[in-house]
Structure 1
Amino acid sequence: MPPKKVVKEEKLLLGRPGNSLKSGIVGLANVGKSTLFQAITKSHLGNPANFPYATIDPEEARVIVPDERFDWLCEQYKPKSTVPANLTVYDIAGLTRGASTGAGLGNAFLSHIRAVDAVFQVVRCFDDAEIIHVEGDVDPIRDLEIIAEELRIKDIEFVEKALAALVKETRRGGQSLEMKKLKEEQATVEKILAMLQDGKDVRKGNWGPKEVEVINPLFLLTAKPVVYLVNLSEKDYIRQKNKHLPKIAAWIKEHAEGDPIIPISVCFEERLAAMTEEEVAEECKTIGAKSALPKVILTMRKALNLGSFFTTGTDEVRQWTLRNGTKAPQAAGVIHGDFEKTFIQIIVYNYTVLKEEGDEASVKAKGKVLTKGKDYIVQDGDIVLIKAGAAKS
């Protein structure tokens, strides 16, 4: 008998299942968050300044997602209108030691993190006498420990409140289905609390479907995906060397294994942001380094498990964002809510097929256009045409 095929179990994702997910830039005060926000969004909404809490309210901007597929499709169809995908990014006020107990902007800061779906954590690794460090000196491991501890302390507080409310309910006892469900919830919340008290982040646990349903409504800070951005001096970024990098990599391996680490120089990105495309290309060629921002944006989309599908034509080429694993009717709903309700079928082929064949006519001629129903899972890079019925008024 042939050996049984081993089915790799996908790790269940924590967080909201939506497509309009938000990322927040987080870190201690004066590590380069607001300057990064300005560079990544090419905006001047942020408020970079050489003192803690320069940013008080989180500021929001949308960042265009760089994608060669979208560029190629626009070149192919030469449409009247082009709409790329975007990622919403927030600049959040700097954290400080004791934030979980209200120090600095403590509670406001932590509530702003609760409102985003994933975190860019900026860690400072550059020395600059003119930019004060809130802790007095540059020590990225200490900074990582402070943020990890503050977020966990706040999560413990949230979870203890949730547990107290559940215990109050389960004390009533009884054998009803509702009571059984409450007891299961209580067991999950106790498991979360034990993990946090053991110094571990919730996103690193192996959670079953029912447990995920309990975790998500808690909006825990340590359940959110994290992309670590190591802010280097321009000199260190160009040579890709810094005395702190090996220590940071070791810390992340021990405490947050699997989370991405991206070296970046915020002052270099700020300089590039002020240039034209031609000047950027020339500068990058001269110094032998390129912007890290495209990698930063694409890594965050991957951390959020987001993909893209396209609608194409001479009128418009548009890139739509959806959570990977989404079925056709829900993908149709991303385009228009009524399409999900009245979905009939999806006509689809992937970008890779189109690129291989050269044009839409060749794809059709070779029978590579598929017609699928409600169970079809839309793949990253699919080009789709949705067929739906008339919406009921």
Structure 2
Amino acid sequence: MPPKNKGESIEPKGAVRFGRSKNNLKFGLVGLPNVGKSSFFNLLTEQNAPAENFPFCTIDPNESRCAVADSRFDFLCQHFKPLSEVPAYLHVVDIAGLVKGAHAGEGLGNSFLSHIQAVDGYFHIVRAFDAPEILHVEESVDPIRDMETISHELCQKDLAALEKAIKDEELDVRKSPGYKLSELFTTTMGKVRALLEANKPVRDAAWTTPEVELICKKLYMLLTTKPCVYLINLSADDFVRKKNKWLVKIKSWIDGHGGGAMIPMSVEYEQALHKMRDDPLAYNEAVKTAKSVLPRAIKVAYHELGLIHFLTAGEKEVRCWTVLSGATAPQAAGVIHSDFERGFIKAEVVSFEDWKEYGKNGMAGVRAAGKQRQEGKSYIIKDGDIVHFHFNVTSQKKK
């Protein structure tokens, strides 16, 4: 039976609908100890966070950022040769490894789970290579068991939050004579409980708009509502030959537990490539065998958070400005400066494809071809738009 009204329409699946409405979002690195999280973090950000061969090497989360690869940005930089080049960035956080019983405090688990709560999405790094010299908390490599462990800990933490939310709501009911739990609250909490008890993430279900709003209000920042990208850490040999005995089983498990992007990669191979960066000949030969997946992983995470970027371009600066997908022109202008949003007049917009075709002689060629558009307050910014804002602020903002 179709929904009775628009308020009951089913929202598209995905974790973005549960997320925070911010442009500056963070992506964490989650997994068991010794699966390659800190080494991957170092590769992503070219930092030097400790990455030793023992559990809980990382205690406090390390945080940095990495550039989002964009051929459009590169093209504009080559054209303008600006004094300043500012790409889009993904902010990443290396979180200590979780172990069985983390939700009950094992291995400083409650602290580490709170670090996951503070990010907006996460890479779930899964070890799928045998290496006796690299310790494993379970003494053997079994990616399915390990993913079940992480999933269980996240679900158990969310179940505790669910129980608290229900108790708080029941307390409010007792304080208000004649008031009772709403049917929406009861049915929504029941659906959440069923998923978590089945060791499945909340993002896995089909939810109506009122249900999403209720979950966001009563169960703020549940761990299993966050976007998740699975990185399967293979040996260098398996990565190069594109074969591993676990990959099919891992994909099947992911599909049955909320879905999400699965990216096979190899920290071992990425580290070898990184060491070759000063030897172009050796690097190019290695890349012919297998390319780095770091740019893809960064880009997938960036878009899983619902982020896009528009560009401003000129001889002084070419810059990417990050906004949430669905941002209006005034909201995008506000990312540059609050005055731009407050005094917004219009936005002059050119798609990158049109600029690439007609902008060889500058904006005059684009205008001559009729490809520059004037957009107003209701315009929704598109990924890769090249924008120039017009604004006028003549008085102080009214209080």
Q: TM-score, normalised by structure 2?
A: 0.90
Q: Could you tell me how far 1:242 is from its partner in structure 2?
A: 0.6
Distance in 1 between residues matched to 2:283 and 2:334, nearest whole Å: 39
Residue number among 12, 25, 39 corresponding to 2:43 in the alignment? 39
Distance 1:234 1:106, change over 3 A: same
1:16 aligns with 2:45: no
Letter in 2 for 1:216: C
Match of 2:105 in 1: 102
- The reply on whether 1:256 has 2:253 as its aligned counterpart is no
The correspondence of residues 277-288 of structure 1 with structure 2, limited to 5 A, is 278=280, 281-285=283-287, 288=289
CA distance, structure 1, for counterparts of residue 237 and residue 380 of structure 2 = 46
Greater mean deviation of Cα atoms: 248-257 or 187-196: 187-196
Distance 2:198 2:77 in 1: 51
Q: Deviations over 1:121-147 (max 9, x none)?
A: 000011111111001100000001000
Query: Counterparts of 2:210 and 2:293 in 1: how far apart (Å)?
Result: 38
**Structure 1 residues 57, 63: CA separation in 2 closer, same or farther (over 3 Å shift)?**
same
Per the alignment, residue 340 of structure 1 pairs with 341
1:345 maps to amino acid: K
Where do 5+ consecutive residues of structure 1 fail to align? 1-6
Range with bigger deviation, 162-171 or 94-103? 162-171
Residue matched to 1:199: 199
Q: Is the 8 A contact 2:328 2:378 kept in 1?
A: yes
SS of alignment partner, residue 200 of structure 2? coil
Partner of 2:121: 118
1:242 aligned partner: 244
Q: Is the 8 A contact 1:338 1:391 kept in 2?
A: no
C-alpha change, 1:232 and 1:370, in structure 2 (3 Å) is: same
Tell me the residue number matched to 1:3: none
Q: SS at the partner of 1:48? A: coil
Is the Cα contact below 8 Å between 1:26 and 1:94 reproduced in 2? yes
Name 2:6's counterpart in structure 1: none
Amino acid at match of 2:255: K
CA distance in 1, matches of 2:250, 2:277: 34
Q: State the 1:285 CA deviation.
A: 4.0
Q: CA 1:174/1:370 → structure 2, altered by over 3 Å: closer, same or farther? A: farther
CA distance in 2, matches of 1:51, 1:300: 28
Distance of 1:192 and 1:391 partners within structure 2: 50
SS, match of residue 255 in structure 1? coil
Aligned residues: percent identity? 47
Corresponding residue number in structure 2 for 1:158 = 161
Cross-structure match for 2:30: 26
8 Å CA contact 1:155, 1:222 repeated in 2 = yes
Question: Structure 1 337/19 Cα, relative in aligned 2: closer, same or farther at 3 Å?
Answer: same
Please list, as runs of the form range in 1=range in 2, the aligned pairs for 1:47-58 lying within 5 A after superposition: 47-58=50-61
- Which range moved further: 163-172 or 224-233? 163-172
Distance in 1, matches of 2:299 and 2:159, equals 31
Q: Retained in 2: the 8 A contact 1:16–1:216? A: no
1:334-369 per-position Cα deviation (integer Å, ceiling 9, x unaligned):
111222222121111111111122433221101111
Distance in 1, Cα, partners of 2:169 & 2:215: 14
The amino acid across from 1:249 in the alignment is K
Amino acid at match of 1:17: S
Superposed, 1:87-236 pairs within 5 Å as: 87-173=90-176, 184-185=184-185, 187-217=187-217, 218-236=220-238
Conserved 8 A contact 2:342-2:393: no
Task: Kindly indicate whether residue 324 of structure 2 is the aligned counterpart of residue 320 of structure 1.
Answer: no
Name which of structure 1's ranges 136-145 and 180-189 shifts more when overlaid on structure 2: 180-189
Q: Helix, strand or coil: the match of 2:56?
A: coil
- Structure-2 change in CA distance of 1:216 and 1:279 (3 Å): farther
CA distance in 1: counterparts of 2:281 and 2:207, whole angstroms? 49
Contact 1:166 1:186 in 2 (8 A): no
In structure 2, do the counterparts of structure 1 residues 364 and 9 end up closer, same or farther at CA, with 3 Å as the change threshold? farther
- The change in CA–CA distance for 1:242 and 1:102 in structure 2 (over 3 A counts) is same
| Distance in 1 separating the partners of 2:264 and 2:252 | 15
Q: 1:347 to 1:8 in 2, by over 3 A?
A: farther
Q: Would the aligned equivalents of 1:15 and 1:117 in 2 still touch at CA under 8 Å? A: yes
Q: 1:187 to 1:339 in 2, by over 3 A?
A: farther
Structure 2 Cα separation of the partners of residues 358 and 338 of structure 1: 29
Spell out, residue by residue over 1:192-227, the C-alpha distance to the aligned partner (whole angstroms, 9 max, x if none). Answer: 223322332111122223322232351101000100
Return the offset for 1:80.
Answer: 1.2
Q: Distance in 1 between matches of 2:287 and 2:164?
A: 55
Q: Determine the C-alpha separation between the residues in 1 that align with 2:276 and 2:22.
A: 35
1:380 matched to 2:383? yes
What letter matches 1:130 in structure 2? E
Question: 1:4 maps to what in 2?
Answer: none
Letter of the 1:194 counterpart: A
Q: Compare 261-270 and 9-18 and name the one that shifted more.
A: 9-18
Distance 1:233 1:95 in 2: 22
Q: CA deviation at 1:182?
A: 6.8
- Equivalent position of 1:86 in the other structure: 89
Indicate the RMSD between aligned Cα atoms, in angstroms.
Answer: 2.1
Aligned residues of 1:41 and 1:63 also touching (Cα < 8 A): yes
Q: Do the aligned partners of residues 213 and 262 (structure 1) sit closer, same or farther apart at CA in structure 2, a change above 3 Å counting?
A: same
Q: CA deviation at 1:284?
A: 2.3
Q: What TM-score, normalized to structure 1?
A: 0.92
Measure the CA separation in 1 of the matches of 2:51 and 2:202.
32
Distance 1:56 1:279 in 2: 39
Indicate how the Cα distance of structure 1 residues 181 and 308 shifts in structure 2: closer, same or farther if over 3 A, else same. Answer: farther
Name the CA shift for 1:268/1:285 in 2 (closer, same or farther; >3 Å). Answer: closer
